Amino acid sequence: MSAPAIETPRRPMSYRTATFAPASLPANGVVAVPPVRVAVRHQIAVIGQPGAKALPGDPMAPRALPMTRLVANAVATFTLILFAGLAVAATAPRLFGYESVVVTSGSMEPAVHKADVVVTAPSDGTDLGEGAVINFDRNGERILHRIASVTTNGYRTSGDANTTPDSELVSPGQIRGVGIVVVPFIGLPATWAAEGQWLLLAAALTGLIACLHMSRGRWLDSGQEFLLR
């Protein structure tokens, strides 16, 4: 004879309920919905109230961007664009057979300054006239000077900043190129490295990294947010 089954009482399950008041429908059958605040990318929009602004002290409201930060962003972006443009202007011609020469002295000032880059076109050294800036070899050294006069034995050259012309004539075979474009100051890193001025080189690299950081998209978004307020 089997033992009678014993039922274990189950605990009643509890539910949390919410009571909603029935909405009264107007005659046109449209329910009036109160304005609802929603956040869209740090901007406060109020449904049902066009043109409404965020309330003071609202944590979702955009914060005002200091003008100094906006100016720093603009300066950093301009610096990066300028540096990139000069770097491209100084190096891209090499892809088409031209040569980029870093000026290492001030003998050609004021037309060409130290640390400028002069882009030179290939030349066989013939049919050059006075005033042309040439890049030539002399005693194992590259020199960038201007042709002061043309003789039957070669070219008499001189630096613009020099009071006297060079003592030696330059033959057509020594000429490696004729200057066509000057790119200012982009050769400073190479000049500092050649002269062992590592502190200046490190400072320039640090400044470039700082400009990259300040021109990031987050700074740009903040600047747009500041201008739109």
Question: Along the 229 residues of the chain, how does pLDDT read in single tens digits?
Answer: 555 555 555 555 544 544 445 555 566 655 555 554 544 444 444 444 555 555 555 555 555 557 787 888 888 889 999 999 999 999 999 999 999 999 999 999 999 999 999 999 999 998 899 999 999 999 889 999 999 999 999 999 999 999 999 999 999 999 999 999 999 999 999 999 989 999 999 999 999 998 888 877 554 555 455 444 5
E strands in 7-164: 36-40, 43-47, 99-102, 117-121, 133-138, 141-151, 154-158
CB atoms within 10 A of CB 55: 11
What contacts 140, CB < 8 A, 6 or more positions away?
none
Query: What 3-state DSSP class applies to 226?
Result: helix
Domain ranges of the chain: 72-209
Determine how β-strand 154-158 pairs with β-strand 99-102: unpaired
Cα–Cα distance for residue pair 144/57, rounded to 1 Å? 65
Q: Which amino acid is at 200?
A: L
Cα–Cα distance for residue pair 179/158, rounded to 1 Å? 14
| Contact of 146 with 112, CB cutoff 8 Å | no
| Contact of 145 with 205, CB cutoff 8 Å | no
What pTM did the predictor assign?
A: 0.63
- The CATH superfamily assigned to 72-209 is Umud Fragment, subunit A (2.10.109.10)
